[in-house]
Amino acid sequence: MNKAVIFALTLISTPLFAIDLSENQIDNAKVSANGKHVTLLGNGVEVGQKAPNFKVVDDSFVPVTLDSFSGKAVLISVVPSLDTGICSLQTKHFNEKVAGEYKDVVMLTISADLPFAQKRFCQAQNIDKVQTLSDSVWHDFGKNYGLYIKDMGLLSRAVFILNKEHQIVYKQLVEDLATEPNYDNVITNLKAL
């Protein structure tokens, strides 16, 4: 049996564990779902700081880190789950309307979905310019960027732009999980790179 399949089945069959993290003090009480504030866990980040490294997996369970994109500008679109309407729209928007215009910028979508679900979504929706990465294994991205939603196991919706030195030059934390990011602000900041 394929090692990736065995690894994934182990993850799915292993009881879920609680992540013991402190609250994100930078973005505390800034995000809501269904009219109620959610608690974000992990280390919040701010514009101007060096982007923290992270470890996620691609659709074949191969580890990917921010260092994998050394010397390249990076746009990170963060979504709770690709299989939901707004997350799907956000990912399609960056794939269809942004990635082609900014070929020198690595376009990533990170969610807590399992890699199998991400791969299925990308094939069904013809996502071919944005690379989807999963934070489901180590929750490292959520911890390092302060986006892990307490008691939900999902990531909060956000967009980051990193310059070639991986300094955070733009951060958009979407205040309501049920709304899309402000794409115009993202484009303005991409043009400024």
Write the pLDDT tens digit of every residue in 27-70. 989 999 999 999 999 999 999 999 999 999 999 999 999 999 99
Q: What CA–CA distance (Å, rounded) separates 91 from 78?
A: 9
Sorting pLDDT into bands at 50, 70 and 90, what band is 9?
A: very low
Task: Check residue 28 and give its pLDDT.
Answer: 87
Please, are residues 28 and 40 in contact by the beta-carbon 8 Å criterion? yes
> What stretches of the chain show up as alpha helix (H) in DSSP?
3-13, 85-93, 115-125, 140-145, 183-191
Active site (catalytic) residues: 87
Q: What Rg value do the Cα atoms of the chain yield, rounded?
A: 16
Contacts of 9 (CB under 8 A, 6+ apart): none
Q: Report the SS3 class of residue 74.
A: strand
Distances from the Cα of 137 to the Cα of 69, 123, 153, 168, angstroms: 20, 22, 11, 24
Q: Encode pLDDT of 68-112 as tens digits.
A: 999 999 999 999 999 899 999 999 999 999 999 999 999 999 999
Reported pTM: 0.89
Please, are residues 156 and 181 in contact by the beta-carbon 8 Å criterion? no
